[in-house]
Amino acid sequence: MSLKNEIAVVGAYEHPRRWAPDKTAYQIAAESARGALEDAGLTIKDVDGYATSGVGPIGVLSMCHHLNLKPDWIDSTAIGGSSFVAQVAYAGAAIRAGLCRTVLITYGSTAASERFAIGTGGGFSQDPPDTFDIPYGPTIVGAYGMVAQRHMHEYGTTSAQLAEIAVTMRRHAGLNPNAKYRDPITVEDVLASRVISSPLHLLDCCMISDGGGALVVTSAERARDLKKRPALVLGAGVANRHNGIGQRDILDIAARQSGARAFERAGVKHADVDLCMIYDSFTITVLATLENLGFCKLGEGGAFVQNGRIGLGGELPVNLDGGGLSSNHPGMRGIFLVIEAVQQLRGESGERQVEDARIALCHGTGGWLGIKHSGATLILGAG
Amino acid sequence: MPTKYLRRDDVALHYLHTGPTTLPDQPPGLGRGVPLLFLHCEGGNAALWSRQMAHFAALHSPIALDLPAHGRSCGLDGPESIDHAADRVCSFLEGIAAPPAVLVGHGFGGHVALAVATTRPGCVRAVVTIGTAAQATIPDDAIAKLRQVVQGRLGQQFDTPYFGSAPDMAVMREWWGEMVKTDPKVRLSDLLAYRASTVATRLGTVTQPVLVLVGEADKLCPRDAAEALASGLSNARVVTIPDGGHIVHLEKAAEVNAAIERFLAEAAA
């Protein structure tokens, strides 16, 4: 049983706010749910499956209550910021298995107005393996910095090459009226910004914002009767890496496995992909993801992102919304990857529209690259 | 302290008030004594007025506003000009259906209060400025340094000129804790608006009584700058608070509150 051409994303909505101290995370999620359902031409009464993440162990139940939902299928996958990308596939599997017909996926966060230190925070939880890492004081930005340092050591990648990614995301954000940071920046600006965790500068790091979004997933058959052109799921894959520091090569990331599965299931080639939405928690995340997804060889990412290749109008436009580096990052960015991809495939992205976008790849990274992380890849096609 | 939001011009404005809470979208009662509207300094927020809110709650109806993009109010960008900020304040006063209020502003907030008095005199019963100059002299290097913070080249700067001759560590900590809550790019917009303000040219039109408060040891707005402001106004007096710095309303709250109270009694008479 495959998902290919059987499952569709029929509603997508990104909450426009980046700073919402007057709202709760639940309000943002609920407003986004309304937006995505309107986008699909459906109502909350049509929803019989519900998924969310980042709401604590049984927060999904509180969200059901908040949305007045009694769904037949409930999911709160918690693999970090990539969860929402994986949930599109999981929702598709549930629909194919007959567990439900229409799944609503929501996300809401007030990370900025609650002053939640995402990237500089210390360890999580009481996970047994963490007892070997956390005493040494790793931070998220420190972990990603370590990956960047390793990449530079192994392949001679430079800070200017990483900076090119931040500059490109900012250029795209300038075309997105809702993006938080829209003023253009240069490679020099990135290099002159202060170092947060060597070799990553401030402008190599995503922001912390408020925000949220929602998606509606249903069968391709049902999608035909709905308001807008659907985005069809072509293939998906989910993987993890680095369970326990020092056990693996930190440049071999989950995208290698999840990407390979997604391409295989979708039956498409890299050259077929018109645009990528890649979780850009840090510039190095984009570079490592492009390499591990196979868009270039390991070690060639630095050169690959140069000369406008990943910008609008380039060979492989990446993060047309401006990404977490310049548009929004409320803590778990995965859902925005899918929202922008759907809008691009429908041709709704205005000034930042990729011409004749037919196939979009979304890749979410969750957790800490270099320590333990997940990867979720989703390949969507214009319906 | 009760807090509320008021939605105006598609921006939810956050404010502190005293007295009984009310339902959402219902402004609080402003019937006790005089409505006092406190306006924070550049890059500041309403919480910096906690000592004044507590003091005036018994006899008056104090409100402290977070201007858009400051503190807990919505918006990402600071004001384009002092008059732009003043428009927001007028819109807020309309939104809460306030009778003519006494506007109390600190630094940049004082300029905004004076701008409101010149453009919408009907909203303003009297004005109190604290550490406000007629024409702010903000050095280029201070602007340049803040611009570097905004560009990510410098961390937020802990500047000591705000404090008086004998700074208290707890007050410094409180000040710093509140100031870092507003995006430095908003503070930069405030400073640029303050520096470019043309309110000084319109001060002659202000007929309401104005109390010009200044800390004796204010390094950012020295006493002669405060006196220059008062001299441009038809009905103003200067009160100097001994040993006070620029944030005199935090450092010398009792003296500042007493001076405002005396002014209110006289202005009412």
ipTM of the complex: 0.89
Is A365 in a helix, a strand, or coil? strand
Q: What Å distances lie between residue B167 and B69, B163, B172, CA to CA?
A: 29, 6, 7
Token output for A43: 């109502």
Terminal Cα distance for chain B, rounded: 30
- From B76, which residue of chain A is nearest by alpha-carbon distance? A19
Which of the pair, A120 or A181, is modelled with greater confidence?
A: A181
B261 pLDDT more than 90: yes
Nearest CA to A51 out of A345, A376, A327 is that of A376
Tens-place pLDDT, residues A125-161: 667 777 777 788 888 999 999 999 999 999 999 999 9
Token output for A213: 């979004």
Token output for B31: 């019937």
CA-to-CA distance for A277 and A279, rounded, in angstroms? 7
A116 pLDDT more than 90: no
Q: What Å distances lie between residue B229 and A152, B29, B130, B206, B225, CA to CA?
A: 58, 33, 11, 12, 6
- Tokens 């059987």 belong to which residue? A6
pLDDT of res. A126: 66
pLDDT of res. A209: 97
DSSP-H helix ranges across chain B: 50-56, 82-95, 108-119, 140-150, 169-179, 184-195, 223-231, 248-251, 253-268
CA-to-CA distance for A335 and A340, rounded, in angstroms? 9
CA-to-CA distance for A150 and B212, rounded, in angstroms? 60
CA-to-CA distance for A72 and B228, rounded, in angstroms? 72
Kindly determine whether residue B74 and residue A193, on different chains, have CB atoms separated by under 8 Å. Answer: no
What is the full DSSP assignment across A76-131?
---BTBTHHHHHHHHHHHHHHTTS-SEEEEEEEE-TTTTT--TTT----S--GGGG
pLDDT of res. A255: 98
pLDDT of res. B9: 80
Helix axes A334-346, A83-96, angle to 10 degrees: 70
How close is the nearest chain B Cα to the Cα of A257, in Å? 36
Spell out the domains of chain A, with CATH numbers in brackets: 7-115+206-382 (3.40.47.10)
Nearest CA to A81 out of A381, A370, A368, A371 is that of A368
CA-to-CA distance for A181 and B146, rounded, in angstroms? 17
- From A184, which residue of chain B is nearest by alpha-carbon distance? B151
| Mode of pairing for the β-strands spanning A49-52 and A73-75 | parallel
A100 pLDDT more than 70: yes
B164 pLDDT more than 70: yes
Tens-place pLDDT, residues B168-221: 999 999 999 999 999 999 999 999 999 999 999 999 999 999 999 999 999 999
Question: What does the DSSP 8-state code read for residue A379?
Answer: E
* CB B212 within 8 Å of CB B229: yes
Q: Mean of the pLDDT values across residues A17-45?
A: 97
Q: Residue A245's pLDDT band (boundaries 50, 70, 90)?
A: low
Q: How many CA atoms within 13 Å lie on the side-chain side of B232?
A: 19
Tens-place pLDDT, residues A38-64: 999 999 999 999 999 999 889 999 999
Q: Mean of the pLDDT values across residues A273-280?
A: 98
Is B183 in a helix, a strand, or coil? coil
Q: Residue B136's pLDDT band (boundaries 50, 70, 90)?
A: very high
Q: Which helix (H) or strand (E) holds A240?
A: strand A231-241
How close is the nearest chain A Cα to the Cα of B10, in Å? 12
Write out chain A residues lying below 8 Å of B72, CB-based: 21-22, 113
A171 pLDDT more than 90: yes
pLDDT of res. A125: 60
How close is the nearest chain A Cα to the Cα of B155, in Å? 8
Q: Residue B166's pLDDT band (boundaries 50, 70, 90)?
A: confident
B224 pLDDT more than 90: yes
Name the percent of chain B lying above pLDDT 70: 99
Q: Residue A115's pLDDT band (boundaries 50, 70, 90)?
A: confident
Q: Residue A119's pLDDT band (boundaries 50, 70, 90)?
A: confident
B167 pLDDT more than 90: no
Kindly determine whether residue A189 and residue B76, on different chains, have CB atoms separated by under 8 Å. Answer: no
Kindly determine whether residue A201 and residue B152, on different chains, have CB atoms separated by under 8 Å. Answer: yes
pLDDT of res. A247: 65
Write out chain B residues lying below 8 Å of A180, CB-based: 76
Write out chain B residues lying below 8 Å of A22, CB-based: 5, 12, 14, 72, 74
Write out chain B residues lying below 8 Å of A192, CB-based: 151, 153
A186 pLDDT more than 80: yes
Taking the alpha carbons of B181, B182, B188, B194 in that order, is the dihedral positive or negative? negative
Terminal Cα distance for chain A, rounded: 20
- From A186, which residue of chain B is nearest by alpha-carbon distance? B151
- From A110, which residue of chain B is nearest by alpha-carbon distance? B72
Tens-place pLDDT, residues A337-359: 999 999 999 999 999 999 999 99
Question: What does the DSSP 8-state code read for residue A212?
Answer: E
Q: Residue A124's pLDDT band (boundaries 50, 70, 90)?
A: low
Q: Mean of the pLDDT values across residues B228-239?
A: 96
Single pTM value for the model:
0.94
Token output for A351: 């000034």
